[in-house]
Structure formats: C-alpha cells, structure tokens
Amino acid sequence: MSLRRHLDLLAGGRFLRVVNYHNTPASTAGAVLRELEQLRERFDPVGLADLDVFFATGRWPTDRPGLLPVFYEGYRNSAQVAAPACDATGFVGWFPVCTAFVQCPPAEQEVFARSHLVDLVPEELGSPRLALSPDEVGELAQRHVVLAHTASHAGIADVWTDEDLDREVHEPGRVLREWTGQAAPAFVWLHGTPWGGHPRHDAAVVDAGYRYQFSNTMLQRLR
C-alpha cells in the first residue's frame, strides 16, 4: 500500500489506536477515567468480535477510528480501577495477564514483581495482594478481553528450551482457559516483540492457539 493511501486512510479515521497502561493504582483512578472519557469523544470501542470481522471481511464496524485500552501484567487494580473506568466509558478493556504473577501466593507477589520487571508503586506496597485472583480474571473476561502476557513476564530472548516455550507460551493459554472458560485470543511478549522474526517462537505461539499477537508497533493476525 502506498504512503498516499496510508495517509488517506488515517485522514479518514480508518485506523486503530492502542493506548497502553501498566500499573493503575487507586490514586490514578480519576485520571484514568478522565483520559478514557476524553478518548471516547473521538474513538469507538473495539471488541474481539470486531477484530475478527475486520480481518475476515475487511469491513470496519464504525465510521470513527477504534481504540483499544490495554492494561498489562495482571495487577489487582486492573479489576478495581481499569475495568470500572472502561465500563463507565463503554470501552472494551484488553488485559494481558502474566499468569504466574496471578498464581503467586499473595505474600510472595512483591518479591515476584521485583524479580520479573513488574513495576510497583509505593502506595501499594504492603497490600494484602498485588495481583488479580483467578476469579477476578474470569470476571474480567465476561466483559472485556483477557489475553496471555507469558507466565512470568518473559522476553523472547529469555525463552530457549522446549520447557521454556511450554511454560511461557502454552501454559498461560491453558491456565487462562481454566480461569475464564474461553480460549485466550492473543499473546504478548515482554518488550513487545512482533510475530514473524523468530520461527521457533512464532510457531509456538500459533501452536498454542493464539489468533493475534500484540507488539510495540503492531497488532498482528496470525496465520
């Protein structure tokens, strides 16, 4: 597609904006809500079915650009802050969950976070629980989209063996299906590595049943 065609599509609102959030503690609840309210004035919500229809038919469901608010890691405040803000504004929230963070005993979650590049904020230190519970993950999936962000917040460079691939790629899909009753539709590596440059890892993502992969610059429909 030519640059001119890309510019015409952008000017006509034919694009998808992804806004990434990580930790959304209680002190940010008002700011998150206001930001989503402002975005809702210009963007329409996008659910999983909308993406499936677009990639199957090429038809976009609305006349305005779509927006995906994405809340990473699986913090408990995803259920307490992020999801209520999405509900209030009509957005579908997208929640990439590190399943091992959720599975970690609450008393060990701070240590897990510090050793796996999961950002913490002072106001939450000492909280009884930092991560979502499996039940909360299941509740999120009833209204929003829950996807896999590896098990332990792993980057592609840290996953070498077949055991690594099973733990970080396949196992999160199995666990999320158990918690939510549905297949996890998408996968995200730490650091946002795109699909298409690492054949062995790419094959594992497809074999695990994921349909989409999020990266720093793309949302890819997998073959």
- In this predicted model, what pLDDT tens digit does every residue of 177-199 receive, in sequence order? 999 999 999 999 999 999 999 99
Q: What is the mean pLDDT of residues 93-120?
A: 98
**Residue 80: inside a domain:** yes
Dump pLDDT digits (tens) for 60-83: 878 899 999 999 999 999 999 999
Residue 189 belongs to some domain of the structure: yes
CB atoms within 10 A of CB 116: 18
pLDDT at 204: 98
Q: Is residue 8 part of a domain?
A: no
In the block, which residue shows the tokens 């609840």? 29
Q: Give me the pLDDT at residue 14, please.
A: 63
d(CA 42, CA 85): 16
The answer to whether residue 199 is domain-embedded is yes
Structural domain for 70, as ranges: 17-221
In a domain, 5, yes or no: no
Domain count within the chain: 1
High-pLDDT (> 70) share of the chain, %: 93
**Is residue 194 one of the residues assigned to a domain?**
yes
1 within domain boundaries? no
Assign residue 64 the CATH number of its domain. 3.20.20.370
- In this structure, what token pair is assigned to residue 161? 């063996």
pLDDT tens, residue by residue, 135-161: 999 999 999 999 999 999 999 999 999
